[in-house]
Amino acid sequence: MKKPIIIDCDPGLDDAIALFMILNNKNFDIRAVTPVSGNQTIDKTSINALKLVSFAGSNVPVACGASKPLYKELVTAAHVHGESGLGNVVLPDPKIGFSELNAYDMIYQEAVKHNNELEIVALGPLTNIALTLLKYPDVKDKIQRITLMGGSSGCGNDTPAAEFNIVADSDAAKIVFESGIPITMVGLDATHKALVLDEEINEIFSYKNKVSELAANILSNALIFCKAHGFEGAVMHDPLAMACIIDPEVMISKDYHVDIETKGTFTNGKTVVDVYHVTGKEPNAKVGIDIDRNKFMNILKEAMMNYEL
């Protein structure tokens, strides 16, 4: 039985690789891709999502989402993902069009259709999911799990305190973490260990299909950026979150209560992880603390190898 999933994302260079990892995976019934504003504006993340789905030879519905956070102003990550949102990547025009549904109606429709079987992989700010919860409160009982790239039990990458996806819409993140939907939080504690090294990028280049070549190009550019920031490899945030739904054993996690700071001058977007259980609050998330890097690399390589395009 194929697992029904929805991919919510803000492509986004690492989102692109995460999409390639799942679009050819026969174990999943991808019900939709739902772009959200984040790395770039919604017009750019939406056309990027459509082009990436089409480039991978898929016709999965792409249902456009929120153009801005719930209450705050949109602040993009153009300094990382470029003006297009996909760096210097140029993709052919898509062979498919956008869904007539918007993201939150699509998410709700699919949650009802697959009552409590649907899982969501969230790779950007959580605005679309929060909007679905606000418009359709009963959806919280119809989604089996949200595996999200976001947060950190320690420092941040967008501010000293907080990770980009959570900072970008901390109000949305608060709604999602308080919804009661089971959450797997793939935060920086784990993703900063999901490093792709030079020789691994060269191996992916050697697969010689158009998706693996594009992915290797993205990885090569990410490697330059990450090395300039002190990492020995290309940090693959969203691909690790995607790997977690392909094989949950790729990440070691612990059950913690996580609160989201939405008011702090210096701490807005901080995922406050109750590591020592001092609040007495029940855990609401499985928080990634370590990874099996070999398993991650095998998942990534196998996905890139298996395109016959």
From 81, 114, 237, 257, active-site residue: 237
How many CB atoms are located within 10 Å of the residue 12 CB? 30
Contacts of ligand RIB in 239-298 (CB under 6 A) = none
Q: Is 237 labeled as catalytic in the residue annotation?
A: yes
CA 264 to CA 272: how far, in whole Å? 12
Tokens (6 digits) for 34: 């739902």
- For 103, half-sphere exposure in the C-beta direction (CA atoms, 13 angstrom radius) is 28
Shortest distance, CB of residue 282 to ligand RIB, whole angstroms?
A: 27
Contact between 163 and ligand RIB by CB under 6 A: the answer reads yes
- Residue 300 touches which member of Ca ion, ligand RIB, none, C-beta under 5-8 Å by kind: none
Question: Is the CB of 155 or the CB of 197 nearer to ligand RIB?
Answer: 155
Contact between 237 and ligand RIB by CB under 6 A: the answer reads yes
Cβ within 8 Å of residue 263, ≥6 positions away: none
Q: Which of 14, 110, 119, 169 binds ligand RIB (CB under 6 A)?
A: 14
Q: Point out which span in 8-16, 46-54, 106-114, 128-136 binds ligand RIB (CB under 6 A).
A: 8-16
Q: Point out which span in 42-50, 88-96, 137-145, 162-170 binds ligand RIB (CB under 6 A).
A: 162-170
Contact between 189 and ligand RIB by CB under 6 A: the answer reads no
Contact between 12 and ligand RIB by CB under 6 A: the answer reads yes
Shortest distance, CB of residue 122 to ligand RIB, whole angstroms?
A: 9
DSSP string, 10-21: ---HHHHHHHHH
CA 196 to CA 297: how far, in whole Å? 8
Among 10, 239, 215, which residue's Cα sits nearest to residue 103?
Answer: 10
CA angle 266–268–272, rounded 5-degree value: 105
Write out 147-172 in H/E/C secondary structure.
Answer: EEECCCCCCCCCCCCCCHHHHHCHHH
List interacting residues with ligand RIB (CB under 6 A). 10, 12, 14-15, 38-39, 77, 123-124, 149, 157, 163-165, 237-238
